[in-house]
Amino acid sequence: MEVDFSMQECLLRHGIKPSLQRMAILGYLSVTRTHPTADEVYNALHPALPTLSLTTVYNTLKLYAERGVLLLLLVDEKNVRFDIDTGRHAHFQCIECKNVYDIQIENRDALYKKEVDGMKITETHLYYKGHCKACLFNEK
């Protein structure tokens, strides 16, 4: 993999030393838009990076979440998923194929409040569940 300086800078900006493994994981998250689980990240990178361990994937994803590089997605009952896109958007998970898709939010400012009832808000999450186009089509 070529060295991507923008990714290195991204990590340094968050106070994270850019190791080979960390760069690979960040690279994968940046390229895929599938909101992968830790296991999916591991399985995707393992062939090209045989020494990579699942532990390192977990360590790295946890570190990224703590430093605000990415967001935890709690949309799947089974696994935590990860989203490198920290911008204001919603998610949709198909209850058949389990895929997660991004969705635009219309009136963001009404949703992304700073506080409610005296509680200080640091994160806002909106997600939908249902049937995606592909699964609806296959049922016909």
Partner DNA sequence: CTTTGTGCAAATTCTTTGCACCAAA
Partner DNA sequence: TTTGGTGCAAAGAATTTGCACAAAG
Contact range with DNA by CB under 7 A, out of 2-10, 52-60, 97-105, 113-121: 52-60
Name the strand (E) or helix (H) holding 53: none
Burial (Cβ within 10 Å: 0-12, 13-18, ≥19) of residue 105: middle
Q: Among 1, 20, 54, 121, which residue interacts with a second copy (rule: CB under 8 A)?
A: 121
The item of a second copy, DNA, none sharing an interface with residue 3, based on CB under 5 to 8 Å by kind, is none
Separation in Å, CA 54 to CA 27, 58, 64: 16, 6, 15
Task: Give the Cα separation of 13 and 46 in Å (integer).
Answer: 27
**Span of 15-23, 42-50, 53-61, 88-96 interacting with a second copy by CB under 8 A:** 88-96
Interacting residues toward a second copy by CB under 8 A: 72, 74-77, 80, 92, 94-95, 101, 103, 106-107, 110-111, 113, 115-133, 136
